[in-house]
Chains A and B, each alone.
Chain A
Amino acid sequence: MGFDIFFHALLGVITSGSFVFVLIGVLLGLCFGIIPGLGGTTALALLIPITFSMDSLDAMYLAGGVMGATSFGGSITAILLNTPGTAPNAATTFDGYPLAQQGRAGEAIGASATASAMGGLIGLITLMLFIPLAKEIVLLFGPVEFLLLTILGLVAIAVSSRGKLLRGLIAGGFGLLLAFVGVDTVSGHTRFTLETDYLWDGIPLVPTLTGLFAISQMIELSLKGGSVVTERVNVGNLTGLWKGVVAVFKHWTVLIRGSFIGTIIGAIPGLGGTVASFIAYTSTVQSSRDPSSFGKGNIIGVIAPESANNAKDGGSLVPTVAFGIPGSAETAVFLGILVLHGIDPGPTLLLENEREVYGLIIALTMSAVGASLIGLLTARWLVKITFVNVNILVPLVVTISLTGVYVLEGKPGDVILALVMGIVGYFMIRFDYPRLTLVIALVLGETAERSFHQSLMISDNNLVGLIMERPQAIILVLATLLTLLLPALRKRAKKPT
């Protein structure tokens, strides 16, 4: 039912020549994705004034092109430099970078490109299938479910830190601490804002991430010296690339699981690609037969997060097609662009502005595939970055990242924060504290606290009673318990009788 409109619109794009806007969007998205500190939301926000004079449909093509390309672009830096280009690529560094160090960067990029394209497509197909149920899906997830989901996420943190449980928990705890800085949405009191305006809304995510991952990594690289690749391996060959592409299809269950997780988490407002890729990675490791092989260059460790962070794009459109409301920072910008064109997004958005919504979906589809193709074609040259000496690489990346951070809102505070977190991140690398754990806790902390208070108010302080009334909440509780108990259960299963 939605598919014939989809194909009609697809034909329209190709024949009208407007697909050039998609292409421009893809190139922009790739660039913004690759550069640490810049990302999809920044790119889209900068595009808003430009779209003002464009036709609304063309604006959607441009925006969709950007959005579908950034998470693949970011995986390139994640793999080559251990520096996620965007937050949702953080989990890709775990296995992507070791692969690059072993000279298998081509393979990793090939896998990432394919997983991103396939994940994006699966996410969008799922969206189209569920359009008739979109309203029900949005209404299914309220503050209670958000709370349980964030708890699930935090539990996943604890569980994923096997081997360094204490350090994982400390990092997570520190992340939560940072999450609570700012104005409390319930009481209106300020907490730890150090009497500055800057920290009013809490600690901003992008400068923190840039510092924690990009700057710290550059400090580490510069102290180490040499270049990224430690072994002398011939990387120019394309077989590595093809091997990566094939690996995605070989491990199709990983692809499906990653995409599934990405789509679902994308549909829930406030969680985003970072949480999606992290949970996809963690659950894949957990359910693998050989968990200890991860973190050392297991190609599956690239497939899982990369499929999730693209699948989320499809999922994030569910609230938009249901009620015309944003489900993520990027979709909020889309809707802003529509508003500027005189469209008032609401529950009838899909009915009244079918053109624009399907235009966006088409653009996302073309972008997911297009970005990956461009990535595959240019991989041979991109991979050469791993051979560049750090004395050139480090200053370049640091300058570009900090500029990117400053460009966001023009606040010097962001740059200072990035530098501070860079130093914190460096010490975390040195002493082997997981940085992604800190980030996930930072992302989830605010939603967790807010949802907790809301759930209490809604349930008249009878939270357990409310959970019992909602089947979706009960399922989440069970999933959390399962996540907690799975490692212990497996240990028992492995013990010789």
Chain B
Amino acid sequence: MSNRIIASLSCAAVILFGAGTATADWPEKPIKFVVPYSTGGGFDVYVRAVAPEMEKILGVPVVPENIPGAGGQKGAATVYKSEPDGYTIGIFNVPGLTVPPLLGKKVAYDLDQITWLGNLAKDTYSIAVKADSPINSLKDLCSLGRPAKFSDTGPASTSSVTAKISMSLIDCPMTNVTGYKGSSQTIVAAMRGEVDATLKPIGSLQKYVKSGDMKFIVTYENKPSIKGVSSSRELGHNEFEKLTLYRIVGGPPGLPKDVADKLADALLKAANSDAVKEWSAKSKKPLDPIGGAEASVLMRDLSDFYSKYKTILAE
């Protein structure tokens, strides 16, 4: 009996000691920060702005690695499958990634299992049309006598999902013309007039409106942030403002708590650093950082929220 106790106590001691030493010296080698899109895109610039600051805080190189493909799924799968040793983290395009599993498609990641570390920003969506378009409002867009055409990169991208859901909520007939290579091509498509409108984050469309090539017709938010452009809530569509693009960061499932906490802490501090704030103001990329625990809650709310729209998405 006492032998057993000694044995199990020593086992416990070894395990605790072993686990302790495994994480006690973390981090001791470079950390990989996976970006699920190619260089230069929206997610990429956030990671590249934040990584150097994280490096200063953690004392090891934090190296962005672009793993594009399959609408962000390849990057997500890479992080999901990697060792939970704190040396691989990634940024995820949410809610885009929530959609394929909702529709019953086989995916190589599980967002419920990812260790969420923080969210960097929320991008407000908006709809824009070409500058000389006869369409000037959401009402115009929906009374064309035929489905309104939106341009998008793929059927599972966050913007095409948002377009589908929001238009369905107001009974506005629409179709997504997909297959464009990159979001800038979808905006050019609207300029050509081959589609009626495109739904994108305000930040992506801003420069085309400023140059006089496009014009906004609505923004998905509570209070209007752009002069002369109605917000969705003003028009009475209260659900729209919940449809936003998140820049959320996570690590593989099973990440030890102390490592995850350190990562989340470093991420938050980096996002709030002066250098990153300056970058955000200069390049007009919004920043709205929240920490690890809140990020997990956010993800749970999001998957509940989007599962409501399963039937719409399956059409």
| In the assembled complex, A325 has its CB within 8 A of some CB on chain B | yes
A62 to chain B, nearest CB (A): 16
How many angstroms from the CA of A417 to the CA of B49 in the assembled complex?
Answer: 35
Known: A197-B74, A336-B44. A346 touches B189 (CB 8 A): no
Give chain B residues whose Cβ lies under 8 Å from the Cβ of A144.
Answer: 194
- CB contact under 8 A between A269 and B105, given known A344-B207, A450-B179: no
- Specify which of A183, A323, A348, A453 is in contact with B210 (CB 8 Å cutoff): A348
- CB < 8 Å neighbour of B279 from A188, A269, A270, A342: A342
Which B residues are in CB contact (< 8 Å) with A188?
100, 105, 154-156
- Asked if A340 CB lies within 8 Å of chain B CBs, one says yes
Interface residues in B140-172 (C-beta closer than 8 Å to A):
146, 149, 153-156
Q: Which of A45, A187, A197, A325 contacts B185 (CB 8 A)?
A: A325
User: A270, B181: Cβ atoms under 8 Å?
Assistant: yes
B residues engaging A (CB < 8 A)?
A: 38-40, 44-45, 48, 68-70, 73-74, 77, 100, 105, 108, 146, 149, 153-156, 175, 177-182, 184-185, 188-189, 191-192, 194-195, 207-208, 210-211, 213, 279, 282-284
- Residues of chain B within 8 A of A347, CB atoms compared: 207-208, 211, 213
Does A143 have its Cβ within 8 Å of any Cβ on chain B? yes
A138 in the interface (beta carbon within 8 A): yes
What total count of A-B pairs have CB within 8 Å?
104
Are A139 and B211 in contact, with the CB atoms below 8 A? no
Smallest beta-carbon distance A366→chain B, Å:
25
**A142 touching B77, Cβ below 8 Å:** no
- Most chain A beta-carbon contacts within 10 A, residue among B77, B105, B180, B207: B207
- Docked complex Cα distance between A368 and B185 (Å): 29
Chain A residues with CB under 8 Å of B192's CB are: 139, 142
Cβ A332 vs Cβ B38 within 8 A: yes
* CA A155 to CA B185, docked complex, whole Å: 27
> Which residues of the other chain, A, contact B149 by a CB distance below 8 angstroms?
457-458
The answer, among A185, A340, A348, A457, for a CB contact under 8 Å with B48, is A340
Q: Is B189 a contact of A142 with CB atoms below 8 Å?
A: yes
Residues on A with C-beta less than 8 A from B39 are: 45, 48, 332-333, 336
CA distance A450 to B177 in the complex (A): 11
Interface residue count on the A side (C-beta < 8 Å): 41
How far is it, in angstroms, between the C-alpha of A333 and the C-alpha of B66 when the chains are bound?
A: 12
User: Which chain A positions have C-beta within 8 A of B283?
Assistant: 339, 342, 344
User: How far is B40's CA from A460's CA once the two chains are assembled, in angstroms?
Assistant: 34
Contact B180 A454 (CB under 8 A): yes
Query: How long is the Cα–Cα vector from A144 to B192 in the complex, in angstroms?
Result: 12
> What's the Cα separation between A110 and B184 when bound, in Å?
40
Contact yes or no, A201 B70, CB < 8 A: yes
Whether the pair A454, B179 counts as a contact (CB closer than 8 A) is yes
- Determine the chain B residues whose CB is within 8 A of the CB of A458 once the complex forms: 149, 177, 194-195
C-alpha gap A142/B130 in the complex (Å):
15
Contact of A185 among B38, B178, B207 (CB under 8 A): B178
Q: How far is the CA of A139 from the CA of B190 in the complex (A)?
A: 10
CA distance A116 to B108 in the complex (A): 46
24 A-B residue pairings within 8 Å (CB atoms) = A45-B39, A139-B188, A142-B194, A143-B179, A187-B155, A200-B73, A201-B69, A201-B70, A269-B185, A323-B184, A323-B188, A324-B207, A325-B182, A326-B182, A332-B38, A339-B40, A344-B283, A346-B208, A346-B210, A347-B208, A347-B213, A348-B211, A451-B179, A458-B149
- What residues of chain B lie closer than 8 Å to A344, measured between beta carbons? 207, 283-284
Task: For B67, give the chain A residue with the smallest CB separation.
Answer: A409
In the assembled complex, the CB of B145 is this many whole angstroms from the nearest CB of chain A, namely 12
Question: Inside 8 A of B38's CB, which chain A residues have their CB?
Answer: 332, 336
Which 10 pairs between the two chains have the least Cβ-Cβ distance? A336-B40, A346-B207, A347-B211, A325-B184, A336-B39, A185-B179, A457-B177, A450-B179, A458-B194, A201-B69
Chain A residues with CB under 8 Å of B44's CB are 336, 339
Q: A200-B70, A323-B188, A325-B184 are in contact. Are A348 and B207 (CB under 8 A)?
A: yes
Q: A347-B207, A457-B175 are in contact. Are A139 and B191 (CB under 8 A)?
A: yes
